[in-house]
Structure 1
């Protein structure tokens, strides 16, 4: 396990390097530039040249990239062109909001999807199974931002309830924090629960057909033990794979939901950077999200051996 972990960590280096190159290249291909946005109608050639020299935008792209990536390796993501504030402290501050939203959404999704997926597998071709499949299809089909807007409209028009805006840290005021976070987390959780539900159903169904489940039942084990201790555990590998991918995608995919509920998360910071053509901010946010994403996938791979003793990385 130790050797495998070291190999996987080393494999992250070329992956992150490729991502950094791609991010930098895409930023340079975006139409418009931040200098025009800052100067506006006052964008004379002299002022443009001064700002370009100040931020190093007049140098060759390869030099700009090397300066940026060397700074990243030293823990310096640069400064915002708009605010001149260091980027990394702002990323870490906003990441706490996005991480909390992601964890709450993932837990809500698991609490909905796994029990219903197991129920659909056990009650195959019954009303319960058909209901779960329809619910899962709706979850897969309706995007989170559409569900957010629809739910806000229903709550405001039918119940005269308006979701609280802004953000309060959990340790500052736990109750207020939960009031703010529960609705966007529930929306994201429901929107991603459909795919986990379908995967759970199909995986559990496949395991229930295997001979060792018949042996477990023949030995007198209860149906609960046969399903949850034996069938579900052996069906967890594809479910964990999907969950790991969803956690990574939630970190970068909650942009619109954070914007709708005015949550100062990493997604909102990225979107603001894009709108303002603040390239260093966007590059730093996307690279940080990519790093967390590949780290989550590494943890997911390591969980395989813990969940299924038949898997060994020695």
Structure 2
């Protein structure tokens, strides 16, 4: 098991290096005159050139990247070119908001998807058809449309939850819960639709296996067969899909944070990307990639525990 985890960590580190290089190269596109943006359109060209030289932008991109990587390895991601704020401090102030969304969506998706998928796979019939229709519709609907409908119904008409704003967990638990419920709900619908369909398909496939029929013939209670044998063998494919859904949740958080006025790293990414603030953007990219790698590592460990053959893959 340790060798399996070590291989996954090594692959994650390699992926992190590749993504960091590609991201820095793409962000350093020709024509992005950061010095001009900082000093204004009316600034003299010699002042703009001096500002770019001060930021190190007059050097080759590869040299800039190596210098950035050497600092990043030591935990120094620099300061914002536009606000002079430490990048990690700026991200740290917004990170709890996005973590609240991603963790909430992952938990809600995992619990409801497995319950719905197992229910449909075992009971079949009308329940199964309903779950399939829900999966197709929920996965096909655009996320922004789902979000707007949820806001109109639960925030504007029923007034059960606030339409915009965020209250920190440390300030008020009930306030925090009320401000994250609608964003989590809007991000969860598509994820539940995708994962529950995978759970359903896996459960049906496992239920057709010979060993399940043997367990039934031996007189074991159906609930024991389902939850002790079927679910364990059907969980691996569903967990893989759940890990991929996490990436989609991070992307969807950008739109959801904009709509609900949440001060998370999604809205922060949009703001600093339009400015071309490379130190902040690179720190955001690395934080996001590390989060995705950790989630996928956790999923791989769980799959390896459920299916020992996967450790050798």
* Alignment TM-score, normalising by the size of structure 1: 0.92
Task: Find the counterpart in structure 1 of residue 178 from structure 2.
Answer: 179
Q: How far off is 1:172 after superposition?
A: 2.2
Q: Tell me the distance in 2 between the aligned counterparts of 1:31 and 1:185.
A: 39
Q: How far off is 1:239 after superposition?
A: 0.7
CA contact (8 A) 1:164 1:179 kept: no
Q: How far off is 1:219 after superposition?
A: 1.6
- 1:110-153 Cα deviation digits (max 9, x unpaired): 232211111221233x2211111111112211232221122212
Task: Find the counterpart in structure 1 of residue 152 from structure 2.
Answer: 153
Which deviates more, 236-245 or 304-313?
Answer: 304-313
Is 1:220–2:219 an aligned residue pair? Answer: yes
Q: 1:134-145, aligned counterparts within 5 Å? A: 134-145=133-144
Distance change in 2, residues 1:13/1:30 (3 Å): same
Distance change in 2, residues 1:286/1:201 (3 Å): same
- 1:46-95 Cα deviation digits (max 9, x unpaired): 22112102211112211111111111101011111110111122223322
Which deviates more, 218-227 or 206-215?
Answer: 218-227
Q: SS of 1:250's equivalent?
A: helix
* Alignment TM-score, normalising by the size of structure 2: 0.92
Q: How far off is 1:168 after superposition?
A: 2.2
Task: Find the counterpart in structure 1 of residue 284 from structure 2.
Answer: 285
Q: How far off is 1:32 after superposition?
A: 3.7
Q: SS of 1:235's equivalent?
A: helix
Q: Tell me the distance in 2 between the aligned counterparts of 1:196 and 1:12.
A: 24
Q: 1:64-143, aligned counterparts within 5 Å? A: 64-124=64-124, 126-143=125-142
Which deviates more, 276-285 or 200-209?
Answer: 276-285
Q: How far off is 1:313 after superposition?
A: 5.6
Task: Find the counterpart in structure 2 of residue 276 from structure 1.
Answer: 275
CA contact (8 A) 1:155 1:162 kept: yes
- 1:259-296 Cα deviation digits (max 9, x unpaired): 11121212121111112221221121012211221121
Q: Tell me the distance in 2 between the aligned counterparts of 1:291 and 1:310.
A: 26
Structure 2: gaps of 5 or more residues: none
Q: How far off is 1:180 after superposition?
A: 0.5
